[in-house]
Amino acid sequence: MKKFKRALVVGKFCPLHRGHELLLGRAQDGSEELLIVSYTKPEFPGLQPARREDWLRALFPRSTIVVLDDERLAALCAARGVQARTLPHNDLDDGDAHRHFMGWLCWTVLQLPVDVVFSSEDYGPGFAEVLGEFYASSKVAHVSVDQARTLVPVSGTAVRFDPHGQRAFLSPLVYASLVTRICVLGGESSGKTTLAAALAAHFDTAWVAEYGRELWESQDGVLAYDDLLKIGREQLVREAAAAGQARRWLFCDTSPMTTYFYCVEMFGKAETELAQLAEHRYDLVLLCAPDFPFVQDGTRRDDDFRARQHAWYQAELVRRGIAYVDVTGSVAQRIEQVVCVLA
């Protein structure tokens, strides 16, 4: 038997770090149910509710997870037939505003009363006391976890300031989502593979090779229609795996957009799923210019095809509303251009 029925942990989780995981783990171990609520007003750039919710659901799948902004809160209230409020601002001097907001949220909106609050902050006991006032019939307990930060010496502010320097305090799953993913596109013989590898070496990080070429070579230069969807899927799987090994940046040689191009080019059609995979977004797209002589390695078409492919990328990126950076010249010149962009 667990000591408590339903525990509550409230936090920004911007980002979710090892100290948060310790707190949430203790709450989960000490109660039959765990309610996790995350909100922050204003939001922190790059740490939007959907991203925080993904982290929490991946790491604490058995918990009830509620991640809010004003829009999500309004939708939740509408679904429950409750008059909506707005989130209290982070800078409110009156801590009771947040405490009463949480009492209202748990009791009136979620209808999930709690009997214990787990926290790592000095406001914890007062928070539990206010929640107890909402429920009237029973007292809400408080459990403090590593308030002095001796077990996990980290703070959200420090991690936000330098997530890469504080990487040791982030789970691989969380850190991978904070890595900047850079896609290198280009027609055949435009130097994209060479550039992706060179950039990874320059920045001392990981890169993802083109799986389509690997499969093509393993099948003696023959690709079936179904192989193209397999390529699109596997390319993203490999990107996700490599992100956990990367340092700050991950360079990706091609994307499922490339696979979609070849599928339509080769077979005149593409599966709906592959078209959807081609919508996958990156933090930055580099488009290699075909500005040096075409090199035939036995796997490529010709210079006219390269020019047509490059033009397709240009038009398609514009059509999809994806900003991109043209890179030109030698490998060294291209690296210098990317360094300027990333500086």
**245 contact partners, CB below 8 Å, separation of at least 6:** 206
| Stronger pLDDT, 328 or 300, i.e. the higher one | 328
How much is the pLDDT for 138? 76
Report the C-alpha gap between 204 and 248 in whole angstroms.
9
Cα(6)–Cα(231) distance, integer angstroms = 45
Q: What's the CA gap between 71 and 82, in Å, rounded?
A: 14
Three-state DSSP at 189 gives coil
- The residues, ordered by sequence, that sit 6+ positions from 64 with a Cβ below 8 Å of its Cβ are 33, 34, 35, 36, 112
Place of tokens 């000591």: 3
Q: Is it the case that residue 25 has pLDDT exceeding 90?
A: yes
> Which residues face 130 on adjacent strands?
none
pLDDT of 205 reads 97
List, in sequence order, every residue forming a beta bridge with 325; answer none if it has no partner. 286
pLDDT at 187: 87
Per residue in 78-97, pLDDT tens? Answer: 999 999 999 999 987 666 88
Superfamily of structural domain 4-162: HUPs (3.40.50.620)
Contact in structure between 255 and 234 (CB atoms under 8 Å): no
What is the Cα–Cα distance from 305 to 186, expressed in whole angstroms?
12
Q: Do domains 4-162 and 179-342 have the same CATH topology?
A: yes
Give the H or E element holding residue 57. helix 49-59
The yes-or-no verdict on residue 306 having pLDDT over 90 is no
What is the pLDDT at residue 291? 83
pLDDT at 299 over 70: no
Question: What are the pLDDT digits (tens) for 226-235?
Answer: 999 999 999 9
Half-sphere exposure of 156 (CA within 13 A, CB side): 13
Region for residue 154 given its phi and psi (left: phi exceeds 0; alpha: psi -120 to 50; beta: otherwise): beta
Whether the pLDDT of residue 297 is over 60: the answer is no
Residue labelled with tokens 């990107």? 239
Counts of helices then strands in the chain (DSSP H, E): 14, 10
pLDDT for the residue numbered 301: 66
Q: At residue 293, does pLDDT exceed 70?
A: no
Long-range CB contacts for residues 273-279, cutoff 8 Å, separation at least 24: 273/229, 273/232, 274/228, 274/229, 274/232, 277/229, 277/232, 277/233, 277/236, 278/232, 279/320
In the chain, domain spans: 4-162, 179-342
Could you report the per-residue pLDDT of 152-211, keeping only the tens digit for each? 999 999 999 999 999 999 999 999 999 999 999 998 878 899 999 999 999 999 999 999
Q: CB neighbours of 92 closer than 8 A, spacing ≥ 6?
A: 98
2: CB partners within 8 A, 6+ apart: 29, 30, 31, 32
- Looking at residue 209, its pLDDT comes to 96
- Distance CA(115)–CA(132), nearest Å, equals 8
CATH 3.10.129.10 fits 179-342, yes or no: no
* Angle, vertex CA 71, rays to CA 69 and CA 72, nearest 5: 65
Q: What percent of the chain has pLDDT over 90?
A: 83
Whether the Cβ atoms of residue 112 and residue 104 lie closer than 8 Å to each other: no
Tokens of 113: 């009363």
Work out the average pLDDT over 267-292.
95
**How confident is the model over 203-224, as pLDDT tens digits?**
999 999 999 999 998 998 899 9
User: What's the whole-number average pLDDT of the chain?
Assistant: 93
Q: How far apart are CA 199 and CA 207, in angstroms?
A: 8
Beta bridge pairs of residue 247: 249
